[in-house]
Amino acid sequence: MLKKVSELLPRTAVILELAAREKGAVIKELAAPLIQAGFVTDENQFVSAILRRENLESTGIGFGVAIPHARTDAAVTTVLAFGRSSAGVDFSSLDGKPSHLIFLIASPETMKREYIWTLAKLSSLLRRDEVRTGLLKAQTVDEVYALIERYERY
Amino acid sequence: MIEQILLWLDDSAAARAAATWALNLAQHLSARVYALYILPPEHKPATSRTRKVSTEKEEKAWELLYEVEDEAFNQNVRISLLLESGEPLERFREILTGYNPDLIVVGTAGPLSSEEIIRQSPQPVVFVKKTPAHAGNNKED
Q: Is A100 known to be catalytic?
A: no
pLDDT tens for each residue of B7-45? 999 999 999 999 999 999 999 999 999 999 999 887 776
Between CA A134 and CA A105, with CA B83 as vertex, the angle to 5 degrees is 60
Asked if ipTM goes beyond 0.90, one says yes
Interchain pair A119, B79: CB under 8 A: no
Q: Which residues contact B13 (CB under 8 A, 6 or more apart)?
A: B107, B109, B130, B131, B134, B135, B136, B137, B139, B141
Residue A22 Cα to chain centre, angstroms: 15
Residue B54 contacts A where some CB pair is shorter than 8 Å: no
Interchain pair A57, B69: CB under 8 A: yes
Q: Is A41 exposed, middle or buried (0-12, 13-18, 19+ CB in 10 A)?
A: middle
Instruction: Profile chain A (154 residues) by mean pLDDT over runs of 10 residues.
Output: 89 98 96 97 96 88 94 96 97 92 97 95 94 97 95 76
Q: How far apart are CA B55 and CA A124, in angstroms?
A: 7
Which of A30, A92, A40 is closest to A61 using CA atoms? A92
Interchain pair A56, B72: CB under 8 A: yes
Residue B55 contacts A where some CB pair is shorter than 8 Å: yes
Strands A99-107 and A69-71: parallel
The catalytic residue among A23, A69, A71, A100 is A69
